[in-house]
Amino acid sequence: MAQEKKMVEEITSMEEDFAQWYTDIIKKAQLCEYSGVRGCMVIQPYGYAIWENIQKNLDARFKKTGVENVYMPMFIPENLLQREKDHVEGFAPEVAWVTHGGTEKLQERLCVRPTSETLFCEHYAGAIRSYRDLPKLYNQWCSVVRWEKTTRPFLRSAEFLWQEGHTAHATAEEAQERTIQMLNVYADFCEQELAIPVIKGQKTDKEKFAGAHETYTIESMMHDGKALQSGTSHNFGDGFAKAFGIQYLNDNNELTHVHQTSWGMSTRIIGAIIMVHGDDAGLKLPPRIAPIQAVIVPVAQHKEGVLERANALYDQLSEKFRMKLDASEKSPGWKFSEYEMRGVPVRIELGPKDIENNQAVLVSRIDRSKTFVSLDNIEEELAKMLDKIQAQMLEAAKQNREEKTSSAVTYEEFKQIVEEKGGFVKAMWCGDEACEMKIKEDTTATSRCIPFEQEQLADTCVCCGKPATKMVYWGKAY
């Protein structure tokens, strides 16, 4: 028992030090570890298995909307990156450059892709000729490099994994429709699969993607009250098309520029899963993306028949669920703590008395409740428990967000909430970037989004007192 207790004690309490709690969980659950390159991480099998499940689910959702996967080069010639002024200025501070090939200095520097808009644009300029070539609905799964000054595993790293969708359309209306469609795909995925509720909305001009006409976002609330931008969808209009000469002949035989979109979600969403759902005992993984949905722990496995029955149960359940059987020499108590810490949704205990009574014990990771079920209908009972856990996790996350969302009418009230309570602050805004900058300077809170669901909290801007145009979600963010 001393060993088992020590295992949990090695995780710092989230109330004591949330940042250290986050780091402890990543290390203890073996999600990733630091590499020899600053800001780059080794994603370990358990962490990568989470990403694989995310990737598989998202990829299927994309393909249902007609998207096809492609792959672009990882290097971008400097002249290509320079083609769109706002875009290159936005990424310049984070770009990593290749200057030599072997011992030879390159005639032109190559950028290690921070994102692939320019590569897709170069391809589309050659691939699109007629309205019959449209729309182009492409996505790629890859890694990108952004030379971040401050890094944290999953949340902000020099290299990270993501998907980036890039589409080209005949009209502005089609591009806008696709932009919102993909934002909704992300929002549904987060809520249905990750049990993370999100706020959908538009970024301010100051916060939008470099080179975008409009940027839309889903914002989620972490346990500590900080926000996390969890996915974005951008409408590029015809800006990139004009810079790269992407034109097509329409059905009136007129040469017209295409309208483009881009949208992405990265491995930082794993950081969101940790910070939205975890507790002082470790991870809590939503059943729909958990690498192991249930683990079988034999009790008194040295006794005759226990391991045989446990193996038979594993074979039975693994046909429908992602299962693990732990028949190692560790004590049952140690195994209980280990799989709780790793966030496995359900633990199945099976001992001699259980076998005698034709039953097993299902233990929920969420509330540690125990349910005794007959082995005759254990498949149905396990499915019910997994569904219940998924729903409980979403409800708990919604409740946390609700408790950490406030409204402010005056600037003093706004500053007090940010300083003392944190979380989301809903407040009216005049639309002036000067007010947005002042709020950030005074409080370090930033505009998270202009939500689609607007509320009229007051008639005047919370900062300057001039007539308000929009209600905005504000908050400190990762």
Check pLDDT > 80 for residue 84: no
Report percent pLDDT > 70 for the chain: 98
Report residue 4's pLDDT band, with 50, 70 and 90 as the boundaries.
Answer: very low
| pLDDT tens for each residue of 47-65 | 999 999 999 999 999 999 9
CB atoms within 10 A of CB 34: 15
Report percent pLDDT > 90 for the chain: 92
- Report the alpha-carbon distance of residue 178 to residue 115 in Å, rounded: 19
| pLDDT tens for each residue of 214-263 | 999 999 999 999 999 999 999 999 999 999 999 999 989 999 999 999 99
- Report the alpha-carbon distance of residue 236 to residue 243 in Å, rounded: 12
Cα 358 to the chain's mean position, in Å?
A: 42
- Segment 328-348 shows an average pLDDT of 96
* Nearest partner of 390 among 192, 221, 225, 186, judged by Cα: 192
Check pLDDT > 90 for residue 419: yes
Let me know how long the chain is: 478
Helix (H) or strand (E) holding 139: strand 136-145
Whole-number pLDDT of residue 90 = 77
The SS3 call for residue 213 is coil
- Segment 334-342 shows an average pLDDT of 96
Average pLDDT value for the chain = 95
- Burial class of 434 by CB neighbour count within 10 A (0 to 12, 13 to 18, 19+): exposed
Report residue 89's pLDDT band, with 50, 70 and 90 as the boundaries.
Answer: confident
- Burial class of 456 by CB neighbour count within 10 A (0 to 12, 13 to 18, 19+): exposed
Whole-number pLDDT of residue 1 = 39
- Segment 123-147 shows an average pLDDT of 97
Check pLDDT > 60 for residue 435: yes
Structure-block tokens of residue 449:
């989004």
CA 94, 100, 101 angle in degrees (round to 5)? 120
Whole-number pLDDT of residue 92 = 82
Cα–Cα distances (Å) from 388 to 295, 344, 382, 394, 457, in that order, read: 17, 14, 10, 10, 36
CA 258, 262, 268 angle in degrees (round to 5)? 175
Domains detected in the chain:
9-277 (3.30.930.10), 294-388 (3.40.50.800), 405-475 (3.30.110.30)
Report residue 385's pLDDT band, with 50, 70 and 90 as the boundaries.
Answer: very high
- Segment 362-377 shows an average pLDDT of 97
- Segment 359-367 shows an average pLDDT of 97
Which residues partner with 295 through β-bridges? 324, 347
CB atoms within 10 A of CB 413: 15
Whole-number pLDDT of residue 9 = 56
Check pLDDT > 90 for residue 44: yes
- Report the alpha-carbon distance of residue 413 to residue 421 in Å, rounded: 11
Contact 389, 192 (CB under 8 A): no
- Report the alpha-carbon distance of residue 275 to residue 273 in Å, rounded: 6
- Report the alpha-carbon distance of residue 84 to residue 67 in Å, rounded: 25
Task: Report residue 320: phi and psi, to 5°.
Answer: -120, -20
Whole-number pLDDT of residue 2 = 41
Render 359-427 in DSSP notation, one character per residue: EEEEEETTT--EEEEEGGGHHHHHHHHHHHHHHHHHHHHHHHHHHTEEE-SSHHHHHHHHHHT-SEEEE
| pLDDT tens for each residue of 156-175 | 999 999 999 999 999 999 99
